[in-house]
A and B are shown apart, each in its own frame.
Chain A
Amino acid sequence: MSTLTTAATKPIRTDLFVASAADGKPRLLGSRCRETGRIYFPAEVMNPDTHRVGTMEPVEILGSGHLISFTRVTRGLPGFPSPYALALIELDAGPSLVAQLEDWQDVDLAIDMPVDLVIGTIKLDKDGMTLVGPKFRPRRT
C-alpha cells in the first residue's frame, strides 16, 4: 500500500485497488476473461456471462472514465462526508462502478464528463478509522 495508508486509515476493501502501481498512479483490481477479453470489476472468479471457471486472470484497470449519472447526497449515512457527490462511472476499459467524487464542489457536473481515479476517503468507520478507496476526480480540460 502507499503512503495513504497510515495507522488511522485502511482500505475499505483489500481487493479493490492499488494506490500506486508501477507508474505511481492508482489502479482498480479486476479480472479479464482470457476467452472473451471482457474485463470485470470487482474481480470475478467465475465468468458470469459464459458460466465458465478458470478463464479469468487478474488485471489492473486504468482509472479513466466518464459520468453516466451523479447526485449530491445532502443527508448521508453516519460516517460519510456531508454532503458528498456520488456517481456511476463507466471506465474506458469497460466496467462501471458506483463511487464518490473528489474535488467536485466547484465543478459544474454533467453527464459524460470525463473523470479519473484517485484514492481518497470514503467514510469513517464507527471506531473513527478512515476508510479509503476508489473515488473519481472530474478531469480539468
Chain B
Amino acid sequence: MTKIYIIGAGMTGFGPQPEIEVHELARRATWDAIESAEVGPEEIEVCYAGHAYQGPCFGQKTLLKIGITGIPIVNVENACASGASAVLGVINTIRAGEADIGLAIGAEKLTTPGGGFLPTVADDLDSSMGRVMPAAFAMIARRHMHRYGTTLEQMAKIAVKNRRNATRNPRCHLKKEVSVEEVLRAPVIADPLTRLACCPNSDGAAAVILASEKVAHRYTNRPVEIAASILVSGLRTPHGIVDDRSEMSIRAANKAYERAGLSPSDVDVCELHDPFTIAELIHYEDLGFCEPGEGGRFIDEGRSEIGGDVAVSPSGGLLAKGHPLGATGVAQIAELFWQLRGEAGDYQVPDARVGLAHTVGGGVTKLESGACAVHILKV
C-alpha cells in the first residue's frame, strides 16, 4: 500500500470570532496550510471539507475565493468526527491513485446568539427526551464511578491538566488555568459534571495538505507519515452511549495499532476526544494507555502530562483549546504534525515520534455514537 504523508498544516485561533464569516475562517486555515506545504494552489487535486452545521457546498464556497475550482470537492458531515472523516477521504483518494496532493479542511462556527447546547436533532428520541450531551456524559461518569470507584477529583484533574496545557498554546479558546477546587465548585450543568468539566463551543478552522509517497519529498524533507487512518461507526447497543467504556474507540484504536504495526506504548503524543472530563479518563483505557478501570490512577500519577508516558492533548484538547465540531478532527492532526516536526513551540512534547488522534462524533438513539476515527502519525 502506498504511503501517505502530511506536508503542511494551517489553523486559525479557536474561540469566539463573531466578526469573521466561517468560509473566511476556513480560507485562512487553508491558505496557511498551502503556504506551509509550499504547494501551488493549482497543484491541489482533491478536497474534502468537514463541518456539521455550515450549509451546502461549504468547501466550494471556501475555495472559490482563493481560486481553487474545478477539482473534486466533497463535503463531509459526521458530527464531531466530520474533520477526521474529511482527512480519511483525502487519504483514500490519494491511496486509490486518483490524486497525488489533496487538501482536508475542517471548520465550524458555533458562537451563535444564545449559545449553550448544540442544536438537538428533532427526530432523535433521546434528544427529544432531554438528552443533551452533558447529560449523556454525566450518566457515563456515574457508570464509571459506580464500577471502578473513579472520583470527582480524578475527573477534575483532566480539566486542570488541559487548561494548563492550553495556556502555552496561542490558538486556545480558554486561556486561564483552573484548580481542582474550581472545577468541582463551578456551576453544575448535569451532575456530576460542572461547567468546567465541559468543553466550550468554539469557532475555528484547520486544514492539512496530504501527499502521496511519490511526490511528498519534492515539497519537504520532513514529511509526517500517516501510519493508520481508521474510521468506524458505532454499534447498535441497548444502552446507547451510556457505558463505562467506548467500544467503538477500542475497536478503532486496535485496528489502527494493527495497521501501523505499533502498540499503545509507542505513542508519544495523543490528541484525544475530550468534550467532557470523563471522556478523556475513559479513553485512556479505550486507547490502551492503561487497563480498564485505571483511568483515574493514570491521571493521578501524571502519566498523561507532557513528560509523562504519553502526553495527552498538549494543545489543551477540546476542553481548553475549544471544540469547533467539524474543525476538531483536522486540528488534532495538524497539532500532531507540528508535534512530530518539533514545531509546537511552548507546548512541544520532547522527542515525539508517534502521535495518535482520536475523534468521536454524533449522538444517535440506540447507537454508541455516530463515528469514531483514529489516525496514527509517525516520523
Contacts and interface: CB of A to CB of B under 8 A. Distances in A.
Contacts, number: 94
A56 to B, nearest CB: 15
A74 B218 CA distance: 56
Given A76-B130, A76-B132, A133-B129, A70 B139 contact: yes
B129 A71 contact: no
B134 A68 contact: no
B128 A13 contact: yes
Interface stretch (A2-10, A19-27, A29-37, A82-90): A82-90
Interface residues of B, number: 31
Which of A72, A73, A133 is most buried by chain B, counting CB atoms within 10 A of its CB? A73
Contacts of A55: none
A12 interface: yes
Nearest to A135: B129
A86 B129 contact: yes
B346 to A, nearest CB: 34
B74 interface: no
A112 to B, nearest CB: 9
A133 B132 CA distance: 17
B86 interface: no
A84 B188 CA distance: 12
Which of B142, B146, B188 is most buried by chain A, counting CB atoms within 10 A of its CB? B142
Interface string B352-370: 0000000000000100000
A95 B239 CA distance: 9
Given A75-B189, A77-B120, A70 B126 contact: no
B123 to A, nearest CB: 10
B143 A69 contact: yes
A80 B130 contact: yes
B126 A98 contact: yes
B238 A72 contact: no
Nearest to A87: B139
A57 B33 CA distance: 56
Interface string A82-123: 001011101000011111100000000001000000000011
B130 A122 contact: yes
Contacts of B291: none
Contact of B131 (A13, A74, A98): A98
Nearest to A79: B130
> Looking at chain A's contact residues, is the secondary structure mostly helix, strand, loop, or mixed?
strand
A90 B188 CA distance: 26
Given A68-B239, A95-B238, A98-B126, A75 B116 contact: yes
B130 A71 contact: no
A135 B140 CA distance: 20
Contacts of B239: 68, 88, 90, 96
Contact of A111 (B129, B146, B193): B146
Contacts of B132: 73, 76-77
Interface in B226-245: 236, 238-240, 242
A16 to B, nearest CB: 8
Nearest to B144: A69
Given A88-B242, A98-B365, A73 B139 contact: no
Interface string B114-147: 0011001000011011111011001110110010
A88 B240 contact: yes
Contact of A12 (B128, B193, B236): B128
Interface in B21-70: none
A128 interface: no
B238 A77 contact: no
Which of A74, A76, A90, A98 is most buried by chain B, counting CB atoms within 10 A of its CB? A98
Contacts of A123: 130
A48 interface: yes
A71 B142 contact: yes
A68 B242 contact: yes
A8 B221 CA distance: 70
B187 interface: yes
Given A73-B130, A99-B129, A86 B135 contact: yes
B190 interface: yes
Contacts of A42: 125
| In the A-B complex, the 4 residue pairs with the closest CB atoms | A71-B138, A69-B139, A71-B190, A98-B126
Interface of A: 12-13, 16, 42, 48, 68-77, 80, 84, 86-88, 90, 95-100, 111, 122-123, 133
9 contacts: A71-B191, A73-B134, A84-B130, A86-B135, A96-B239, A98-B126, A98-B242, A122-B128, A123-B130
